[in-house]
Amino acid sequence: MVSVIIPTYNRAEFIEYSICSVLNQTYSNLELIVVDDCSTDNTEEIVNGIEDDRLRYIKLDKNSGACYARNFGIKNANYDLIAFHDSDDLWYADKLEKQVKLLDQLPADYGMVFCSLKRDYGNAAIVPPLNSTKTSGEIFKNLLNGNFISTQTMLCRKSIFSKIGYFDNNLPAFQDWDLVIRIAKKYKIKHLRECLVEVRISDDSISLNHAKRLDAFQQIIEKYKNEIPKQILKDWFYEAGYIAMKANQKDKTKALLGKAIDLYSIRGITALKKLIFYLLK
């Protein structure tokens, strides 16, 4: 059986849509835990108006962030499998059925399965592509090159969280990347090569907030800098510098791209060109 966790904050406009995409799953042996991060809109009224014995609504005493809400849900879950959903996204009706069947067939060294999703940042894309070749098995090194697993796509064994820890409450972005890196260090992961989730990008999405993304990326670098190859660390400084540039933080751009510069690295040369261009603007 599956415990599904939805963290929400002031998503009254979309929360019913998201809840129904869980309760209408073809796999029905589930509980749905909606953890309300102290919303100030009518989220509570909408959730409590949905009549289904599988639905549990928990409202936190204070606003603590999505990571805290997800962790609270995990710790209060009754079942051995954990899935995550977001309060403004959509699951296809057979998502859980296909993922549960796949995970049941895998040995215990697989801690998680995930599917692809459809997202639209102006141009629709399937992430990861269905023909990806490096998204299953021992994928720790592949994840260091960038994340391709989002929380809405995951189905995890609950037991793994006692081994790898929970979502990092200090990260304002990239929480899913940090979590799957830690999972992949200890467990194999299986990619179900189907698109079973659609993601809505709202105007206040963290995906569009460059300052929060920069803060989180710098924390990720600090957390893993002693565990990853030098070349990947260079790439991370390059990416963080690019985010800093988009956030219009010139001093951090100079510092981060400066660290990425290496004359023996193609990306280092690219970073140098970007730094010069940025400083001359």
Residues 82-97: tens digit of each pLDDT:
999 998 899 999 999 9
Token couple for 93: 């009706």
pLDDT score for 259? 83
Strand partners, 113: 155, 190
Closest CA to 268 of 255, 279, 280, 258: 258
Token couple for 13: 């406009």
Helix-, strand-, coil-residue percentages of the chain, each rounded to 5: 45, 20, 35
pLDDT score for 260? 82
CB 18 within 8 A of CB 85: yes
Strand 90-91 relative to strand 188-198, pairing: antiparallel
Closest CA to 35 of 95, 86, 96, 92: 86
**DSSP classification of residue 40:** S
Task: Give the global pTM.
Answer: 0.90
Closest CA to 2 of 54, 37, 43, 53: 54
Q: Please report the domains of the chain, with CATH numbers, ordered by start residue.
A: 2-198 (3.90.550.10), 209-280 (1.25.40)
- How many alpha carbons fall within 13 Å on the CB side of residue 151? 22
pLDDT score for 205? 54
d(C-alpha 110, C-alpha 183), whole Å: 10
Strand 55-59 relative to strand 124-127, pairing: unpaired
pLDDT score for 266? 58
pLDDT score for 21? 96
> ∠ CA(44), CA(121), CA(43), 5° rounding?
5
C-beta atoms surrounding 76 within 10 Å: 14
d(C-alpha 135, C-alpha 100), whole Å: 18
Q: Which residues in the chain come in under a pLDDT of 50?
A: 206, 263-264
pLDDT score for 109? 97
